[in-house]
Structures are given as C-alpha cells and as structure tokens.
Chain A
Amino acid sequence: MTARERIAGNVAGYVDDRTGAAKWMKKNLTKVFPDHWSFLLGEICLYSFIILLASGTFLTLWFDPSQREVIYDGGYQPLSGLKMSAAYASTLNLSFEVRGGLLMRQIHHWAALIFMVGIVVHLLRVYFTGAFRKPREFNWIIGVGLLTLGIVEGFLGYSLPDDLLSGTGIRIAEAIIQALPLVGSYISFFAFGGAFPGEAFIPRIYTVHVLLLPGIFLALITVHLMLVWYQKHTQFPGPGRTEKNVVGYPLMPIYMAKAGGFFFIVFGVTAFLGAVASINPIWLYGPYTPGQISAGSQPDWYMGWLDGLVRMSPPIETHAFGHTISWNILLPGLILPGIMFTLLALYPFIEQWATGDKREHHLLDRPRNAPNRTALGAMALTFTLVSLMNGGNDIISTTFHLTINQMMWFSRIGVLVLPPIAFVIAKRICLSLQRADRDLVLHGRETGRLVRLPHGEFVEVHEPISPEKAWTLTSHEQLAPLELPEYDQAGVRRPKALANKLRNRVSRANAVAVPKATETERRELEGHH
C-alpha cells in the first residue's frame, strides 16, 4: 500500500465510520448512464444554472437594487449629469468601472438565455421521445415548473437594471396585474407600494430574483436529479437494450470526466459569448421614465411568444355594471398561457388515458413511431412559433419591408390555421418514415450500384441491413387501439359510454401505424428472390 493510498483510505474510513457512506458510494460510483447527445441537453441547463449562480453572486457585490434618484457622474460621458435610479447608475458602474463587470453581466445574461433554450430543447427531447411516460410523470411536472419559473426569473432579472427597455417591460407586467378582475388594482398597488412605478418594486423583485426563486430552483433541480438518479436514465432502443436494463458507461471515471468536462465547455462557450457578443447594452437605452420609449421594444426570446400573443389579440374590452374586463390583456396574457401550461403539465396523463397503457417505459420512442404525439408536438410548436414571430412583428416588418398590418393578419390567421396543418403534415411524415423503415428492413439498403441484367433490364442492387439495425428499426411495439364496449354483456349501456366512445376514437387515431416488418415477411421475400 502506498502512502497516498493509506491517506485516502484513512479519510474514507473516517467519513464512513460516521455516515456509513461506503456501501452507497461503492454501488453508485459505478452507476451506468446511457450515452446519447440529446441527454446532454438537461446537463446544459444544470451547468448554465451554476454559471448563473456564480456570475449573479459577482453582480450582487456592486449592484444597488434601489429606485432612489441619483445624478450620474460616472465614466460614461453621454449620460453624465442625468437623473436616474441608483439601480441603473450601479449597472452603468458595473459595466464601465468595475473590471470584468461588463463581462460578468454579459455572461450572466447569455447564461440565462442558454438556460432557457436548454430547458425548452430538453423538454422537446423528453416529449418527442416519450421519456415522460410512467414512471417519470413527476419529473415531467417538475420540469414544467422549472420552465415556468425560468420565464419569471429571467423577466425579473432583466427588469432589475431599470433602463428604458426593462422599465417598459415592468409597465406591461403592471398592466397585466391591473387587468385582473376584482383584485387587479389592489394587487398592483400592493406589489408596487402604490402607483406605478413607485420606488419599491425593484428592491422587492431583487429579493425574489436573488433569493426566493433561486432557492426554489435549487430545491426543484435537486429533486429532479435525484429522481433521474433513482429511476435510472431512459435509453434509446437498440441491440442489447431492453426495458429491464441500462446499457452505457459507468459514472466513475467516464461520466465524471465527460460531465465535469462538459461543464467547463458550457462555461467556456458562455464566457466566449460574454467576451465577443454584446447583450443588453443598457447604456444605449437610457434611464427609465414612463413618458419615453424606444422603437422596436422587444422582450427576451422566452417572453416573445407571450408578447406576440398580446400583439395579435383582438381589441376587446367589456364595460358592464361600472366595471371593465380587458379581454385583450387577460386572454393572451393569462388565460391562454394558463391553458397551455396546464395541458403541458397534464400531457403524460392525457396520453395514458388515450392509450390505456399503464406500464413502465424505459426505452425511448423514436418520434416517428408515435405519430400522434409527434404531430401534437408539432402543432403546439407551430402555435408557439407563430406567436414568437409575431412578438417581433415590428422588426420583421421593417427588415422585410412588410406592413405591420400584413404581419398582424398573417399571425392572427396563422396562429389558428397553421397548427392543424402542422399536425397533419407531421403525422404524414411520421407514417412515411415508418414506411421507409419497413422498406429498409424488408428490401435492404440502396447501394447506388446499377446492374444490367442479361435481358437488358437495369436494377439497383440492394444490400441487406445489419441485424442490429433491423432490430433497432423494429423493436418498438405497435399498440392495438382500445375497444371499450358501449354495452355490457347484459346489453345495458355502460355508465361512461360517451367518454369511452371518445377514448376509443382517440385511441384509434393513436394506433394508426404502418405495420412494422417481421422476420416472417423477410423470409417470404427471400423466397421470392
């Protein structure tokens, strides 16, 4: 035993005497994780969260979250002598006087954008591969919670500097609160400590931004990861992979090196963006005042779809019995997003209801093999993308020389018409891909080699695909549709007849598929050749 081993052994022994950790550690240090590029998406979120904590802590050392009015006399000449809030002045100070301050601000903002992109793309990966199915429904819901909190946290974050752009964002948020029936003006006055903008809001959201929400994030992320750990990661289908095993590499040393290394890569890329790509140059916007605004006001991208919905909303307000309800704010600002996030959170249960499938799933679906789910996803994505695009309708209009009228009407119609079209197209593409898979398994790969037969006919030579590939393409199961009878054996109409009818209908749509190739068919075809 070398000296080094002895010391390590002593330390480990000391800890184990007090915690009994050795038993758990020996099992978990070699825990197996499957490998796939798309499993890195969640890691990107985790790492950008750590970067956010680190860079954010740096920013708090100089940032002054106060709306107290000061006269600026710092290093940025164009704003010299102007009245502004201490929050804005200290952000200028961070950007111009503190060495590395601007870099950290830009790293923080880029990391926030990457965090949100990571969450959305990770969510899409989990959705389209069916990774949310039993037993992972809890983690799906936690994920939807993290997405929602991320949007709020990001909005509060870019609202803190109190520049002209972010102040306008707060003004809009205030209008949404104020539009709530019955309690709106009261909640707004409580939140702002009086009328808008007041002097209380930025100090208050600062506490929420740096303490409350990060604390909730930390708790939710911990549970999210513990569940991933405990339930073991899903894996894509392939040779040797079953519902009962995990095929991959051990945590120590492979994933410690790979995941640890990946953290530094994400941090490195974020630092690179912070160094070369200017983001939120608040000194160009000027301090906030409610009487001014700049053209082309845009929120960060993850708020853009909400803004787009508000922009395309029809101008409807109801005035009755001395009260006002602003549908033009409530509908796109609260009701629609509320419905969307509720459906998103409940999706695993909706699918379970439709398929009647209550089994555990650890093998992922290839998106084409679940055409209905994929098509629904394409539909939701199209809705969100049209909204997001309309969030930039002014910029798009000026860039492409369109009128704002054309953009708005395109969005108003498109947001209703395009999602169903996307559904049909996506479903057709899925079925076509299934057909292509079937052909590939039965007839083999096209080699591109043309051969002329003795009687003059030209044929392309096909080469059989490997048994591994054939298995990967056919290992999924194809569920038969539910057939819940309308009448029971005695001929009496069953209680939930109508719901069952709907369920049968949905399940039938769900089960539409191109029958996958079988060994029997393969052999028959071989007989013909």
Chain B
Amino acid sequence: MSNEIEQIKDPGLPAHVHRRADEDEKFAKKAETQVAILFILSALGTLLLIASYIFIPTDSFIFIPVMGETNAHQLFLGLGMAIALFCIGAGAIHWAKTLMPDEEVIAERHEFRSSDEDRAEFVKTVKAGAGAAGLGRRPLIKRTLGLALGLSGLTPLLLLRDLGPLPKDDLTKTSWKAGTRLVTDPGNRPIKASDLEVGAVAQTLPELAPGEERTLNNIGKDAVLLIRLRPEDFNLTAERLSWTHEGIIAFSKICSHMGCAVALYEQQTKHLLCPCHQSTFDVTRAAKVIFGPAARPLPQLAITVDAEGYLVAQAPFTEPVGPSFWERSS
C-alpha cells in the first residue's frame, strides 16, 4: 500500500428517480386537475376583487378577530387580489414540479479569461489607438482638454447654488425678543403665572404681531416649554434663577441633540425626555443632560411678567437653539 492519501471520490450525478406522474398517466391527470383548480381559484379571486370594488362601500366596517374593526372594502379588495395572484403562482409552480421534465441537466462552464493572444492583441489595439490620437506626444492638447473638462464640471455645482439661501443668522436667531409675550400652542392666548399650577407644563410660542403668520420654520425654532416647580426645587446659579418667575422656568423645546421636540415631562423626577434618542434633561438644574447622547443642556429662555401680569421673555435666547452646527461657537 502506498503512502499516498486517497480522497473520497465523486460518485457522479445520482441516477434520476422518476416521479409518479412520469410513469402513471393517472397521476399526471390528477396533477393537471390540481393545476387547473388553482388557476380557477385565481379567477375567482379576481371576481371577488371586482365585486368588492363595486358593491362594498368604502366606509363599511366589519369585526374580525385579532384584527378588530376592519374596513371591509379594503380587506376584501386585498384578499381578492392576494388569492388571484398567489394561485397563479402556485399553479405555475405545481405545473413545473409535477408535469414538466425534472431531469437534471449538466452544462459546462468556460473560463472567463481571454486567451493570451487576445489579451496581447487588445493591449496592442489600445496602444495603437492612443498612439494614433497622439495624446502622449501632444501634451498641450492633453492639458487644455483637462482644463476644459475640469472647468465644465463646475457648471452643475454652480447651477445648484440657487437651491437655497445662505444660512446667515437663521440658525442662531429666533423670534423671541425682550418683552415678547408667551402664548399657548394651540390657542395663541397669553399666559399669566397663575394659569400654571405647580407641576404643570405648557407648550408656548412667541406672540404674533397683528397680520403676522406663523410658519413651521418659526415653530421649529421658537417652541418653548414652560414648567412650574416650587421655587425651592431649583438648583440654579443666581443668574439662571433670575431667569425664572415664581418657579416657572422656560426651555427651548427643540432638542439640543438632533432637533426633535422634547415633549415628555416626568413630573415625579422633574426630568424632560426626548422621545427620539432618550436624551434626558434635569429641569431643576437648568436642563443639564443627565442621560443619553445630547451633549448640551436645552437653552433656557429668561422670562418675567409685563405690566399686565402676562409672562414675557426678558431677553432673546443667549445661544442658538436646536442641534449643533459647525459655526456654533459654544
């Protein structure tokens, strides 16, 4: 016996086993009937779809277990369509599996690599072509062509310039000014300190001047949350404490992380939570980030009351609201 290790051998493609339908016409006939039944079911599905479209009103509801109250029009329309399509597919596949020949066929593969002569020929052709164009010999043409192509590439960039204005101070300024009244959203009613009980939260916006329209762009920067705590709950610097009024503190509602609305207030812990990425801000400590990916506190709006007792901004926001950007300085 030699020392050569002998590998297990390929026994070759196993002998083909015939299906019952190949050998017995009775089974073939049965398969044919099954395929026909599937196609007829499909036709019935389309009829169901047509009938539902015409006869079931769009506002009729039926109760289906698990699904609950369901719009019957859309349900039967969809079921009809599903049956119609699925049964065509099932019929075709059943047909292929039972009646079409199922003997495996062997096809040969060919190497993709071209022959060495062809490759050499190709290189020669390319070289000859490039030589005929004379790019190598005429550097002036090469360089000026490069210049022309490069410059023409600027055209689409230039033409896209008017997609939008430059940011200017749009990211840093909001509509809040000294003396702007805080009004409820929705409702646009000015708010008195007495309107808010301890523990209450209110969503507010700056009051509009007569004739002014509020756009979503304004709301995206101006939205402010008012929260009323007991003044002794605060743990603020003297300056920040002076920005509150009788335990009412105001923060930008736009998350300092990615700009979602920080809408979840937990009364017990006095935490604000952003539902997008769960950044959590401590209201008692000037919205300091205590959890999550946000890196900065929510900007605090200094508030006070005007002569009539309505809540107003003492001053604009001292920093940009919303997510960070390159030009932001702090």
B89 touches A194 (CB 8 A): no
A408 touches B291 (CB 8 A): yes
How far is A268 from B92 in the complex, measured between Cα atoms in Å? 13
B74 touches A168 (CB 8 A): no
A275 touches B220 (CB 8 A): no
Contacts of A394 in B (CB 8 A): 275, 278
A246 touches B323 (CB 8 A): no
A189 touches B258 (CB 8 A): no
Among A274, A316, A329, the residue within 8 A (CB) of B258 is A329
Closest-CB distance, A377 to chain B (whole angstroms): 27
Contacts of B171 in A (CB 8 A): 178, 185, 195
Closest-CB distance, B328 to chain A (whole angstroms): 4
How far is A196 from B275 in the complex, measured between Cα atoms in Å? 19
Could you say which interface size class chain A belongs to? 35 or more
What total count of A-B pairs have CB within 8 Å?
334
Among A183, A240, A291, the residue within 8 A (CB) of B223 is A291
Q: Is residue A379 within 8 Å, beta carbon to beta carbon, of the partner chain? A: no
A223-253 vs B, CB cutoff 8 Å, 1 = contact: the mask equals 0000000011000000110111111111001
B8 touches A191 (CB 8 A): no
B236-257 vs A, CB cutoff 8 Å, 1 = contact: the mask equals 0000000000000000011001
How far is A260 from B91 in the complex, measured between Cα atoms in Å? 11
Contacts of B330 in A (CB 8 A): 319, 324
Once A97-B58, A297-B275, A323-B326 are accepted as A-B contacts, the answer to whether A519 and B292 lie under 8 Å apart by CB is no
Q: Is residue A375 within 8 Å, beta carbon to beta carbon, of the partner chain? A: no
Q: Is residue A504 within 8 Å, beta carbon to beta carbon, of the partner chain? A: no
Binding stretch for chain A, among B25-33, B94-102, B118-126, B127-135: B94-102
Contacts of A175 in B (CB 8 A): 257-259, 322-323
Q: SS class of chain B's interface: helix, strand, loop or mixed?
A: loop
Residue of B nearest to A168 (CB): B260
B60-89 vs A, CB cutoff 8 Å, 1 = contact: the mask equals 000000010001011101110111111111
How far is A248 from B161 in the complex, measured between Cα atoms in Å? 56
Closest-CB distance, A305 to chain B (whole angstroms): 14
Q: Is residue A265 within 8 Å, beta carbon to beta carbon, of the partner chain? A: yes
Q: Is residue B329 within 8 Å, beta carbon to beta carbon, of the partner chain? A: yes
Among B12, B75, B83, B221, the residue within 8 A (CB) of A268 is B83
Q: Is residue A215 within 8 Å, beta carbon to beta carbon, of the partner chain? A: no
Contacts of B182-238 to chain A: CB distance below 8 A: 185, 203, 205, 216-217, 219-221, 223
A246 touches B166 (CB 8 A): no
A253 touches B96 (CB 8 A): yes
Among B203, B292, B294, B324, the residue within 8 A (CB) of A179 is B324
Q: Is residue B283 within 8 Å, beta carbon to beta carbon, of the partner chain? A: no
How far is A250 from B277 in the complex, measured between Cα atoms in Å? 53
A265 touches B166 (CB 8 A): no
A195 touches B106 (CB 8 A): no
Among A30, A261, A271, the residue within 8 A (CB) of B91 is A261
A311 touches B292 (CB 8 A): yes
Among A185, A317, A319, the residue within 8 A (CB) of B167 is A185
A408 touches B325 (CB 8 A): no
A172 touches B260 (CB 8 A): yes
Once A275-B75, A295-B275 are accepted as A-B contacts, the answer to whether A264 and B86 lie under 8 Å apart by CB is yes
Contacts of A87-120 to chain B: CB distance below 8 A: 96-97, 99-100, 102-103, 106-107
A258-276 vs B, CB cutoff 8 Å, 1 = contact: the mask equals 1011111111110110111
Closest-CB distance, A473 to chain B (whole angstroms): 8
Contacts of A393 in B (CB 8 A): 278
Closest-CB distance, B46 to chain A (whole angstroms): 12
Among A268, A275, A289, the residue within 8 A (CB) of B87 is A268
Q: Is residue A448 within 8 Å, beta carbon to beta carbon, of the partner chain? A: no
B275 touches A441 (CB 8 A): no
B8-35 vs A, CB cutoff 8 Å, 1 = contact: the mask equals 1111111000000000000000000000
Contacts of A496-511 to chain B: CB distance below 8 A: none
Once A258-B96, A267-B85 are accepted as A-B contacts, the answer to whether A197 and B164 lie under 8 Å apart by CB is no
B10 touches A291 (CB 8 A): no
Contacts of B257 in A (CB 8 A): 175, 328-329
B221 touches A195 (CB 8 A): yes
Closest-CB distance, A98 to chain B (whole angstroms): 9
Closest-CB distance, B147 to chain A (whole angstroms): 25
A186 touches B167 (CB 8 A): yes
Q: Is residue A153 within 8 Å, beta carbon to beta carbon, of the partner chain? A: no
Among A192, A200, A242, A257, the residue within 8 A (CB) of B92 is A257
Once A291-B203, A297-B260, A404-B278 are accepted as A-B contacts, the answer to whether A323 and B92 lie under 8 Å apart by CB is no
Q: Is residue A154 within 8 Å, beta carbon to beta carbon, of the partner chain? A: no
Contacts of A96 in B (CB 8 A): 58
Contacts of B96 in A (CB 8 A): 253-254, 257-258, 261
Contacts of A354 in B (CB 8 A): none
A471 touches B10 (CB 8 A): yes
Specify which of A172, A183, A248, A261 lies most central, judged by the most chain B CB atoms within 10 Å of its CB: A261
How far is A275 from B77 in the complex, measured between Cα atoms in Å? 7
| 24 pairs of residues in contact across A and B, judged by CB atoms under 8 Å | A100-B74, A175-B259, A183-B326, A197-B216, A232-B109, A242-B10, A260-B92, A261-B90, A261-B91, A265-B86, A267-B89, A268-B87, A271-B78, A275-B77, A276-B78, A276-B79, A292-B261, A292-B263, A313-B293, A316-B295, A323-B329, A326-B323, A328-B295, A408-B292
Other CB < 8 Å A-B pairs besides A168-B276, A239-B14, A467-B9, 4 of them? A245-B107, A267-B89, A315-B293, A519-B8
